[in-house]
Amino acid sequence: MSEPIKTKDNRAAAHSYATKQNNQSAIRPMGAGRMAMGMGSVEKSKHFKKTWGQLLRYSKPFLLPIFVCLFMVCVAATMQVIAPSYLSKLTNVIKNGIDTGDIDLQAVLVLGIVILSFYGVFFVLRFVENFLMAKYTQKISQKMRTDISTKINRMPLGYFMKMPYGDLLSRVTNDVDNVGQTLNQSIDTLLIATTMFIGSLVMMILTSPLMALSAIGASLLGFLVMMLVIKKSQKYFVAQQAELGAINGLVEEIYTGHTLVKSYNASKSCKQQFESINQKIYRSAWKSQFLSGLMMPFMSLISNLGYISVVVSGALLHIQGKVEIGAIVAFMLYVRLFTQPLAQFAQAANALQGTAASAERVFEFLGEKEQADEQHKPDTIGKSVQGEVEFRGVKFGYLPEKTIIKDFSLKVLPGQKVAIVGPTGAGKTTLINLLMRFYELDGGQILIDGVDIQSIKREGVHDLFDMVLQESWIFEGSILQNIVYSKTGVAPQQVLEACQTVGLGHFVESLPQGLDTILGEKVSLSEGQKQLLTIARAIIKNSPLLILDEATSSVDTRTEKIVQKAMDELTRGRTSFVIAHRLSTIKNADVILVLKDGDIIEQGTHTDLLLQNGFYASLYNAQFETA
Q: CA 176, CA 183: separation in Å to the nearest integer?
A: 11
Between helix 48-58 and helix 105-154 the angle, nearest 10°, is 90
Pairing of β 599-604 and β 591-596: antiparallel
Task: Give 599 or 521, the one with higher predicted confidence.
Answer: 599
- Helix, coil or strand: residue 408: strand
Between helix 325-366 and helix 48-58 the angle, nearest 10°, is 80
Q: How confident is the model at residue 25 (pLDDT cuts 50, 70, 90)?
A: very low
Closest to 408 measured CA to CA, from 446, 436, 440, 437? 446
Q: What pLDDT shows up at residue 75?
A: 92
Contact assessment for residue 418 and residue 590, using Cβ atoms and an 8 Å cutoff: yes
Q: What is the pTM of this model?
A: 0.65
Q: Is pLDDT at 22 greater than 80 in this prediction? A: no
Residues, the chain: 627
Q: CA 545, CA 389: separation in Å to the nearest integer?
A: 9
Q: What pLDDT shows up at residue 490?
A: 87
Q: What pLDDT shows up at residue 131?
A: 92
Q: Is pLDDT at 27 greater than 60 in this prediction? A: no
Task: Give 166 or 381, the one with higher predicted confidence.
Answer: 381
Closest to 479 measured CA to CA, from 429, 536, 517, 437? 517
Phi, psi of 602 (to 5 degrees): -150, 150
How far is the first Cα of the chain from the last one, in angstroms, to the nearest whole number?
51
Q: CA 520, CA 26: separation in Å to the nearest integer?
A: 25
How does DSSP assign 202-227, residue by residue? Answer: HHHHHH-HHHHHHHHHHHHHHHHHHH
Q: CA 315, CA 124: separation in Å to the nearest integer?
A: 36
| Residue 318 CB-density burial (10 A; 0-12 exposed, 13-18 middle, 19+ buried) | middle
Q: What pLDDT shows up at residue 510?
A: 87
The average pLDDT across 409-417 equals 89
Contact assessment for residue 157 and residue 17, using Cβ atoms and an 8 Å cutoff: yes
Contact assessment for residue 230 and residue 223, using Cβ atoms and an 8 Å cutoff: no
pLDDT in tens, 429-470: 888 888 888 888 888 999 998 899 988 888 888 888 888 887
Contact assessment for residue 168 and residue 365, using Cβ atoms and an 8 Å cutoff: yes
Q: Is 422 left (phi over 0), alpha (psi -120 to 50) or beta?
A: left
Task: Give 325 or 162, the one with higher predicted confidence.
Answer: 325
- Helix, coil or strand: residue 477: strand
Give me the percent of the chain exceeding a pLDDT of 70. Answer: 89
| Residue 459 CB-density burial (10 A; 0-12 exposed, 13-18 middle, 19+ buried) | middle
Q: How many CB atoms lie within 10 A of CB 597?
A: 13
Q: CA 562, CA 503: separation in Å to the nearest integer?
A: 7
Contact assessment for residue 155 and residue 371, using Cβ atoms and an 8 Å cutoff: yes
Q: Is pLDDT at 123 greater than 90 in this prediction? A: yes
Helix (H) or strand (E) holding 54: helix 48-58
Q: Is pLDDT at 624 greater than 60 in this prediction? A: yes
Q: CA 218, CA 304: separation in Å to the nearest integer?
A: 9
Contact assessment for residue 361 and residue 168, using Cβ atoms and an 8 Å cutoff: no
Q: Is pLDDT at 32 greater than 70 in this prediction? A: no
pLDDT in tens, 287-312: 877 877 777 777 777 777 777 888 88
Q: Is pLDDT at 517 greater than 50 in this prediction? A: yes
pLDDT in tens, 355-403: 888 888 888 888 888 877 777 888 888 778 888 999 998 898 887 778 8
Q: How confident is the model at residue 117 (pLDDT cuts 50, 70, 90)?
A: very high
Q: What pLDDT shows up at residue 121?
A: 93
Q: CA 14, CA 32: separation in Å to the nearest integer?
A: 31
Q: CA 480, CA 518: separation in Å to the nearest integer?
A: 9
Q: What pLDDT shows up at residue 114?
A: 93
Q: Is pLDDT at 533 greater than 90 in this prediction? A: no
Q: Is pLDDT at 331 greater than 90 in this prediction? A: no
Q: How confident is the model at residue 30 (pLDDT cuts 50, 70, 90)?
A: very low
| Residue 616 CB-density burial (10 A; 0-12 exposed, 13-18 middle, 19+ buried) | buried
Q: How confident is the model at residue 627 (pLDDT cuts 50, 70, 90)?
A: very low
pLDDT in tens, 169-209: 778 888 888 888 888 878 888 888 888 889 988 888 888 88
Q: How confident is the model at residue 556 (pLDDT cuts 50, 70, 90)?
A: low
Q: Is pLDDT at 33 greater than 60 in this prediction? A: no
- 260-269, 274-283, 551-560, 611-620: segment of lowest average pLDDT: 551-560
pLDDT in tens, 465-490: 888 887 788 888 888 988 998 888 88
Q: How confident is the model at residue 553 (pLDDT cuts 50, 70, 90)?
A: low
Work out whether the CA dihedral 49, 52, 56, 62 comes out positive or negative.
negative
Contact assessment for residue 60 and residue 371, using Cβ atoms and an 8 Å cutoff: no
Helix (H) or strand (E) holding 578: strand 575-579
Q: Is pLDDT at 625 greater than 70 in this prediction? A: no
- Helix, coil or strand: residue 424: coil
Residues 6+ apart with CB under 8 A from 381: 448, 449, 451, 456, 460, 464
Contact assessment for residue 210 and residue 317, using Cβ atoms and an 8 Å cutoff: yes
* Mean pLDDT over the full length of the chain: 80
